[in-house]
């Protein structure tokens, strides 16, 4: 494939370019080009509007015997999009525009026509002044007179406006100063209000923080008090005391009467648990007996009272048995928890 792509061709030594025949083409030959409509136009045949920028496949040719400063002028042929009528226009290098020839009329051309008319009048006047010096003087005098009349009319209008306006400049300045003063007062009031709101918010926040700290301290104190006032603390606090009392009770039962044993049991019970009639820490844990169950309680307490009198030195009296029925019977187990369990067991047996 590289052999077919020849860039340099062979020229023989006797080659003469002048002997090459030239292709003769007509000077008015036409070329097909792609262009857009340079202006808005309307077809004369069907009245179809052709807007600026519409694309056409046009034929282009050079206009014969027409030049502008050595520049060629070209003519274009297009066809109407509706009736296929031929429309022609050519270039205008003098005005850097296009000129419609036939087949359509150009739209929105009034301003251009006015400008052309003004240019034409100006050109005629220059030509006339060039040949006639007196005409130049007349035109200058007329122009100066017209200019003076325009200035006089303008001055009259200014004076008329000043008389009708009646503007009070002092009042305007006072009003403007008053507006500035009120604006400053308003801004100052807004600043003071914002500062006051900020201080109030800071004070409320500080009070809330102090209240929350006080509440936290109160909660801690209540928690410490609650832990200190726990009803079951007495059970662990008086373990050693209860065991010592029970040992003393066991030693005294061998040589004392049943009345002394009951008194020591009563004292240990009250020291560990408390009396039934008093409101102690364990008052909520003790359940009172119902009056209806007193008869069954007395019947069940009689055998236990006889056993207690046998372990003692002498026989117990009827008054001591009555007192033993009123007080709960406890076992010598060595702790307050065992005493409380014995009391509840006696209650269960009585209810059975």
Helices and strands in the chain, H and E counts: 9, 8
d(CA 36, CA 31): 16
Helix or strand or coil: residue 272?
Answer: helix
Q: What does each C-alpha distance from 319 to 135, 301, 330, 350 come to in angstroms?
A: 167, 14, 19, 21
- Strands 55-68 and 71-79, by their bridges, are antiparallel
Residue 171 assigned ligand-binding role: no
Residue 80 assigned ligand-binding role: yes
d(CA 343, CA 290): 15
Size of the chain in residues: 352
CB atoms < 10 A from the CB of 114, how many?
A: 10
Residue 83 assigned ligand-binding role: yes
The DSSP bridge partners found for residue 41 are 50, 106
- Strands 55-68 and 49-50, by their bridges, are unpaired
Q: In what order do the strands lie in the sheet with 104-106?
A: 49-50, 41-43, 104-106
Q: The tokens 């419609």 sit on which residue?
A: 100
Please provide the DSSP assignment of 278-333 as one string. S--TTTTTPPPPPGGGHHHHHHHHHHHHHHHHHHSSSPPPHHHHHHHHHS------
Residue 287 assigned ligand-binding role: no
Residue 264: its H or E element? helix 258-272
Q: What does each C-alpha distance from 3 to 7, 8, 9, 10 come to in angstroms?
A: 10, 12, 12, 14
d(CA 188, CA 194): 10
Known binding residues: 43, 46, 80, 83
Known binding residues for Zn(2+): 43, 46, 80, 83
């Amino acid at each position: 494939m590289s052999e077919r792509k020849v860039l340099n061709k062979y020229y023989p030594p006797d080659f003469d370019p002048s002997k090459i025949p030239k292709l003769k083409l007509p000077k008015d030959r036409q070329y097909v080009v792609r262009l857009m409509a340079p202006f808005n136009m309307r077809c004369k045949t069907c009245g179809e509007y052709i807007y600026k920028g519409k694309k056409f496949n046009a034929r282009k040719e050079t206009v014969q015997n027409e030049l502008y400063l050595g520049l060629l002028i070209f003519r274009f042929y297009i066809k109407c999009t509706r009736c296929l009528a031929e429309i022609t226009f050519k270039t205008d290098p003098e005005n850097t525009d296009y000129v419609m020839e036939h087949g359509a009329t150009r739209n929105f051309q009034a301003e251009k026509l006015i400008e052309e008319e003004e240019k034409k009048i100006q050109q005629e006047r220059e030509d006339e002044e060039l040949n006639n010096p007196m005409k130049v003087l007349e035109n200058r005098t007329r122009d100066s007179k017209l200019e003076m009349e325009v200035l006089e009319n303008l001055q009259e209008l200014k004076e008329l406006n000043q008389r009708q306006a009646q503007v009070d400049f002092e009042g305007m300045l006072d009003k403007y100063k008053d507006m500035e003063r009120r604006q400053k007062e308003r801004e100052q009031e807004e600043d003071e209000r914002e500062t006051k709101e900020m201080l109030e918010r800071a004070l409320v926040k500080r009070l809330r923080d102090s209240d929350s700290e006080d509440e936290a301290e109160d909660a801690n104190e209540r928690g410490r008090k609650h832990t200190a006032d726990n009803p079951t603390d007495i059970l662990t606090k008086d373990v050693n005391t209860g065991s010592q009392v029970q040992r003393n009770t066991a030693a005294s039962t061998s040589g004392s009467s049943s009345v002394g044993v009951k008194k020591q049991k009563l004292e240990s019970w009250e020291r560990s648990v408390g009396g039934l009639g008093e409101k102690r820490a364990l008052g909520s844990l003790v359940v009172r007996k119902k009056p209806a169950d007193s008869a069954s309680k007395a019947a069940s307490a009689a055998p236990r009272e006889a056993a207690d009198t046998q372990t003692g030195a002498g026989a117990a009296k009827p008054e001591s048995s009555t007192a033993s029925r009123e007080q709960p019977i406890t076992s010598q187990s060595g702790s307050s928890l065992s005493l409380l369990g014995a009391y509840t067991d006696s209650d269960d047996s009585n209810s059975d």
